[in-house]
Amino acid sequence: MAVKRLKNRDANDLRRIPGVGEIIARDLQELGIEAVSDLKDADPEELYEKLCVQKGVRVDRCMLYVFRCAVYFASRKSHDPELLKWWRWKDKQGTGSRL
């Protein structure tokens, strides 16, 4: 029971990230991310690729955009409110790069 409580507490920390709810928090935990601070300076593309391998399918690319937003959130003390919207982290059309 204590382990479940600890996981829930960690999931609550991850849910502070804009765009991260219960399911994405669980996905992050399965990738070894237990707290917002674990995402500081992480590589969102690497996290996305690991998740795809773990799930055995190509996960919707929106998850990559959420991971980009999450890393931005974790890596800075102050945030541009527009960049706390996961859809602002989509690939630029024709370039495959983020904002």
Only one residue has tokens 């690319």, namely 61
Q: Cβ distance 33 to 66 under 8 Å?
A: no
Dihedral sign, Cα of residue 39, residue 42, residue 51, residue 3: negative
User: Which pair of tokens denotes residue 40?
Assistant: 């500081």
Range of lowest pLDDT (7-11, 41-45, 61-65, 76-80):
7-11
d(CA 86, CA 82): 9
- According to the model, what pLDDT value does residue 92 have? 83
CATH assignment, 2-89 = 1.10.150
pLDDT in tens, 49-75: 999 999 999 999 999 999 999 999 999
pTM for this entry:
0.84
**What do you get for the CA distance between the two ends of the chain, in Å?**
42
